[in-house]
Amino acid sequence: MHRTRFLEAFAQVSSIRARGARTFEAEISREWTIASKPNGGYLLALLGRAALALNGSGDVVAASAHYLRSPAPGPVEIEGELLRRGRSISQVRARISQGGRLCVEALMSTSQLAPSTAPCWDTGIPDVQVVPFDDGIRLKPVTPDGSRVAMFDQVEARLDPATQLAKRPLG
């Protein structure tokens, strides 16, 4: 899938809608599941959108989440609280609930990153050998036990053929 179309599709499945000053609703997509359970990073993206909506702008620069139970694909409620608005960084708490039961809770730090911000290492750039994408071994959308990994129909994950993991049977 072309990068722009992927970003547009992900923006749609990770969208939230305001219900009140501190509450939102969202729809957990079946397309972002592993063995019928939503991917944790996908859930964190929903919480990040709520954090940014509560703060008014910015970028999530740090997050810590506790996954208490997995929500099922379908409607969820998101509640958030702006804990502190700082000049350079703010803290937000956000929670996903389904059917009145808490599923995920996260604390997030948000800040306004400059568009030109680039990663910086103080000990030099790591020496990494890049394997061409097409030479990587594509992970199949099924686990070794036969469980469906629907999110691999949305994104391609590929392994370096030289790794030990790539040498084992993959689904």
**What average pLDDT does the segment 154-169 reach?**
75
Angle at 65 between CA 41 and CA 102, to 5 degrees: 100
Confidence at residue 169, expressed as pLDDT on a 0 to 100 scale: 57
**What average pLDDT does the segment 31-39 reach?**
94
Q: Which of 128, 137, 126 is nearest to 162 (CA)?
A: 137
Which residues share a beta bridge with 27? 75
**What average pLDDT does the segment 122-139 reach?**
81
Q: Which domains does the chain have, with CATH numbers?
A: 3-111 (2.40.160.210), 133-167 (no CATH)
- Biggest alpha carbon–alpha carbon distance for the chain: 51
Residue 8 has pLDDT above 90, yes or no: no
Confidence at residue 127, expressed as pLDDT on a 0 to 100 scale: 74
Q: What is the mean pLDDT of the chain?
A: 88
Which residues share a beta bridge with 82? 92
**What average pLDDT does the segment 54-77 reach?**
94
**What average pLDDT does the segment 74-102 reach?**
96
Cα 119 → chain centroid: 20
In angstroms, the CA 106 to CA 93 distance is 6
**What average pLDDT does the segment 130-146 reach?**
87
